[in-house]
Amino acid sequence: MTEKKQPGHGFVAGGLRFLTELIAWVLVPLALWPRSAFLAIAAVLLLIGLPTLFNTPGDRPRGTPVVPVPGVVTILLVLLQLAAATAAAWVLGPLWLALVVTALCVLVTVTEQPRWRWLMGASARSAPTERRS
């Protein structure tokens, strides 16, 4: 029996999401560094660490989450990455960069819709197993 791949982990949707994560990981510390090196380092650790620790069961193709969370939390973590990438691009400067990053983040919100629908239903699917005695 083959395991069904969850939505949002394909080449396009997953690749675009990962690209925006990389942009956030690079631009956020660059934007914060002039104000505080501590904040720059803490921000990138949070942007990488939170999605690593907190995940919805069944969302990632391999492995189980360290801390299982409802689908809405995973969606909020993606939105955090997108907002951070967009805000940092606008703070850092050139208009072309801010426009490209903003457009990319809007595109990711479109390509993420099937995954987000699945994530919103993931809590309902796992609820009966949590009530077992």
Query: Is position 59 within any domain?
Result: yes
Residue 61 DSSP code: S
Separation of alpha carbons 83 and 105, rounded Å: 8
Q: What pLDDT score does 59 carry?
A: 87
Query: Is position 109 within any domain?
Result: yes
Query: Is position 113 within any domain?
Result: yes
Query: Is position 131 within any domain?
Result: no
Record the pTM.
0.85
Q: What pLDDT score does 128 carry?
A: 47
Query: Is position 106 within any domain?
Result: yes
Closest CA relative to residue 71, chosen from 22, 114, 111: 114
Pair 91, 28: CB distance under 8 Å: no
Query: Which residue has tokens 């208009």?
Result: 95
Query: Is position 130 within any domain?
Result: no
Mean pLDDT by 10 residues, the chain (133 residues): 62 93 97 97 96 90 86 96 98 95 98 93 59 44
Alpha carbons within 13 A on the beta-carbon side of 94:
3
Q: What pLDDT score does 107 carry?
A: 97
Query: Is position 6 within any domain?
Result: no
Closest CA relative to residue 2, chosen from 68, 47, 61: 61
Separation of alpha carbons 61 and 45, rounded Å: 23
The DSSP result for 79-131, as a single string, is HHHHHHHHHHHHHH--HHHHHHHHHHHHHHHHHTHHHHHHHHHHHHHHHHHHT
Query: Is position 29 within any domain?
Result: yes
Q: Total domain count for the chain?
A: 1
Domain that holds residue 83: 11-123
Closest CA relative to residue 58, chosen from 49, 71, 47: 71
